[in-house]
Amino acid sequence: MSTIYILWLRQIKRYLRSRSRIIGSLGQPLLFLLALGYGFGPVFKNAGQGNYIQFLAPGIIAMSILFTSIFTGVEMIWDRQFGFLKETLVAPVSRFNIMMGRVLGGATVAAFQGLIVLIISILAGFRIHHWQSFPLAILFMLLIALLFTALGTAIASMLEDFQGFQLIMSFVVMPIYFLSGAIFPLANLPVVLNYITRVNPLSYGVDGLRIALIQQQHFNVGLDLFLLSALSILLVAFGSYLFSKIQV
């Protein structure tokens, strides 16, 4: 447990020391929130869908958590190239504990990033309907963060350098985001897109955030919580297996 705590704390300290990283990671969510929120707002309203900022903000929060989670997991490649990972792996501690410390630290950082984006969204005009559901929103942020930090760690366990990272971004991360219902409603989609969004784990995270923040749902809160929790456990187990196979 001490190993998990030390690595969890290290991830948080690394994040807090890097002010440029904190500011830089807010750039894309801000661009999407302001450009899409205000740019497509009149179109969304004229289509009878209401305030687009209200609809979009939970998706932008999920986007921030997704990207931060994946990048935090893939930081392991950087640690491997500069020797820190080797020093950690040769220590007489369980690799599962090492992996869990990194995943929990990365998930905490990603969830904190989501909170920052939520605050910015409120300043941009977003309004939470019922603050009593705010703890549920925090729970969904943590589940999204845990799920995709574990995914990032699993991906990093299979890569030895950054050459394959752009491929992962183009064919894994971006499709997960754009096909999650974060920027458009999931109702009345073509059949193929409907099936894709249903097998996309982020769809349930975005839906859960919308339920908690604005009481708007496409699936239901029980299904969202169950699938995110189950997938998080599976990915942590899968990531642990791949992590155990890393050669030092």
Rounded Cα gap, residues 78 and 194, in angstroms: 37
The answer to whether the pTM exceeds 0.85 is yes
Rounded Cα gap, residues 245 and 248, in angstroms: 9
Residue for token pair 């995270």: 205
Q: What is the pLDDT along the chain (248 residues), one digit of tens a residue?
A: 576 777 778 777 776 666 666 676 777 888 888 888 888 888 887 776 778 899 999 999 999 999 888 887 777 777 777 666 666 666 667 778 888 888 888 899 899 999 999 999 999 889 998 889 999 999 999 999 999 999 988 888 887 776 777 777 778 888 999 999 999 888 888 899 999 999 999 999 999 999 999 999 899 999 999 999 999 999 999 988 887 777 65
229 contacts: CB under 8 Å, gap ≥ 6: 143
